[in-house]
Amino acid sequence: MNKETLSAAERSFLALVETTQHHRDSTTWGQLAIRHHAGEGPQYECRHVDDRGTTRENLDQLDGPTALRERTRFDNSGCYRPLKTAPNLPTGWYLAPSDSTRLIEAISVVYPASIENWYLERQGELDITHWREAVARQTGRYGDLDTIDPSTLTTLVRTHCTDDSCLKRRQWELDGEHGIDVPGDDGVFPCREPCPYFLEAAKQFQDGAIEAGEQFKPE
C-alpha cells in the first residue's frame, strides 16, 4: 500500500506528525513519541515518551506489529494491560516503521481507533454516546447499569477516566443536557462513549466488589 490508499484520517494524522516535527523533536500520542526521519532507511520511529532521551542501544528493537502487540499487552511489571489507553505503556523498546502505512499500523496496535476518532472530532463529526444512552442499549449483566445514580457515576468517572487512569479525553456526559463535573482530562484523542472497562468497573461497584472511589483492577 502507498500513501494514496491512506484514509483522510490517516493523512491528517501524518500531517500532524510532520507539522509537529517542525516545532519539536517528536509528536506525543498517548504515551507514544513519534518521530519522522527524512532521507533513507525507516521513515518513522515510535517509542515510549519516557524513553525520548535514551539511545537506541539501550532499547529493544521491535521488528513489527506482532512484537509491538505482545510487548504492549503487559506493563513494566509484567502485568496484563486490559485497558490499552491506561498510562502504563511499557518502556524500553523502539519500533522503526519503514513507511507511513507501517506507522499507522503500529499506532492502531497501541491505541486502536484513536486516529479515526481524533479525526472525526476535528471534523466536528465525532459520534458521542452519553452514559444514559450507552447503558440503555445494554443487556445481560450490564442490563441494570441505568440504576446507578449521577453522584456515584461522577465518582466512578473521577476514579477511572481522568489522565491518571486513562489517556483518552472523555467527551461523553450524563446525557445531552447534564454534564459530569470531573476535570483533569487532557488527552490528545477523545473518548466517545463509556468503554468496556468502565462498564465493568460500574458493574463491579454495583455488585459491591469495589467502592465508588476505588479503582477497578481486574484479577
d(CA 106, CA 89): 14
- Out of 2, 5, 147, 151, the only residue in the binding site for other proteins (CB under 8 A) is 5
β pairing state of 44-48 and 93-95: antiparallel
Q: How many residues make up the chain in this entry?
A: 219
Closer Cβ to other proteins, 48 or 192, answer by number = 192
- Out of 17, 156, 195, 202, the only residue in the binding site for other proteins (CB under 8 A) is 195
DSSP category for residue 92: S
Give the binding range for other proteins (CB under 8 A) out of 41-49, 155-163, 179-187, 190-198: 190-198
Residue 181 touching other proteins (CB under 8 A): no
CB of 216 to other proteins, least distance (A): 9
Q: Count the Cβ atoms, other than its own, within 10 Å of residue 212.
A: 17
- Out of 72, 117, 159, 165, the only residue in the binding site for other proteins (CB under 8 A) is 117
DSSP-derived 3-state class of residue 140: helix
CA 78 to mean position of chain CA atoms: 19
Burial of 202 (0-12, 13-18, 19+ CB in 10 A): buried
Residue 151 touching other proteins (CB under 8 A): no
Residue 218 touching other proteins (CB under 8 A): yes
Residue 74 touching other proteins (CB under 8 A): yes
Cβ atoms of 65 and 106 within 8 Å: the answer is: yes
Closer Cβ to other proteins, 185 or 200, answer by number = 200
CB of 66 to other proteins, least distance (A): 6
CA 105 to mean position of chain CA atoms: 15
Give the binding range for other proteins (CB under 8 A) out of 21-29, 31-39, 110-118, 150-158: 110-118
DSSP category for residue 33: E
> Which residues of the chain form contacts with other proteins (CB under 8 A)?
5, 7, 66, 69, 73-74, 80, 82-85, 108, 111-113, 116-117, 120, 127, 137, 139-140, 192-193, 195-197, 200, 218-219
